């Protein structure tokens, strides 16, 4: 038996591994031993479709990817700490089971992956498609019920894909592929003139979309500033920016797309 949660620093002094340290130990020891499988024994049956304490309709998942599990953990799921999942060897099976069964062979939730062997990798991509921006405006949209549902329903009915969406006090901004934006403009205009919530819609400039993704962003203060600063210094205007705990998506004028991509890549990689 090997004690988890403990390690040593660069000077050889004994220290703790921080939150999730026991699970970190399990994945690291499994890697060092060339194990076939790492079994995480905890107080839940596995990864659930939602918190069973909040919805009694929650069900156990048979499998989940490392990337999905990290996102769940970052947003509050407490089955595994995201730090531990960064150390999972993609070539070693892993699963989560409950201690109540008293049997390591019981089926729990298999953890698949990760897709990348480099756990701290930052992925920067520029969408190949030229996008167009649509802005729908109306009074006090933040307090209008179902307005987003009405817009997305109209988009769904016409088999169009939204690449980005953001909301403000009096506007909703949407991004479509350039060749689909004209149809989206027409169909959403029908929504504008067919009700009294929206007042106008505009079809704007051609847009480039750059996505920056890393599971380390949640623990990296100032990551948005690191992305926007070189664009500001090179006088590149950001049309829109959206972020989550693991991704930042930047929309700029199409003519600035390549330069913005190179600047962000140079800064972060």
Question: Cα separation of 36 and 250, whole Å?
Answer: 41
E strand spans, 114-243:
123-126, 131-138, 164-167, 171-177, 198-213, 238-243
Alpha helices in 36-146 (DSSP H): 66-74, 82-85
Stretch 135-154: mean pLDDT, rounded? 92
* Average pLDDT of every residue of the chain: 90
pLDDT of residue 33: 92
> Is a pLDDT exceeding 90 seen at residue 242?
yes
pLDDT per position as a tens digit, 61-71: 999 998 888 88
pLDDT tier at 45, thresholds 50, 70, 90 = confident
Alpha-carbon distance 239 to 133, whole Å?
9
pTM of the shown model = 0.76
Alpha-carbon span 93 to 108, nearest angstrom: 12
Report H helices in 80-119: 82-85
Which tens digits make up the pLDDT trace of 83-141? 888 889 999 999 999 888 888 888 899 999 886 655 557 899 999 999 999 999 999 89
Summarize the confidence of residues 207-215 as an average pLDDT.
92
């Amino acid at each position: 038996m090997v004690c988890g949660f403990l390690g040593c620093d660069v000077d050889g002094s004994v220290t703790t591994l921080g939150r999730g340290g026991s699970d970190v130990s399990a994945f690291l020891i499994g890697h060092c031993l060339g194990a076939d499988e790492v079994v995480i024994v905890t107080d839940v049956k596995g990864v659930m479709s939602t918190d069973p304490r909040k919805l009694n309709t929650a069900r156990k998942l048979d499998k989940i990817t490392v990337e999905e599990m990290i996102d769940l953990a970052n947003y509050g799921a407490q089955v595994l700490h995201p730090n531990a999942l960064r150390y999972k060897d993609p070539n070693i099976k892993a699963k989560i089971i409950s201690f109540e069964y008293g049997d390591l062979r019981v089926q729990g939730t298999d953890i698949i992956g990760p897709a990348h062997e480099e756990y701290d990798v930052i992925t920067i991509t520029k969408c190949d498609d030229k996008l167009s921006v649509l802005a729908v405006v109306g009074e006090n949209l933040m307090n209008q019920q179902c307005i987003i549902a009405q817009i997305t329903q109209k988009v769904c009915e016409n088999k169009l894909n939204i690449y980005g969406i953001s909301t403000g006090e009096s506007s909703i901004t949407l991004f479509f592929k350039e060749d689909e934006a004209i149809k989206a403009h027409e169909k959403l205009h029908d929504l504008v003139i067919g009700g009294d919530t929206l007042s106008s819609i505009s079809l704007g400039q051609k847009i480039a979309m750059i996505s920056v993704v890393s599971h380390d962003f949640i623990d990296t203060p100032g990551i948005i500033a690191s992305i926007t600063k070189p664009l500001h210094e090179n006088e590149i205007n950001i049309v829109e920016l959206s972020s989550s705990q693991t991704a930042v998506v930047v929309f700029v004028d199409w003519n600035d797309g390549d330069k913005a991509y190179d600047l962000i890549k140079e800064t972060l990689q």
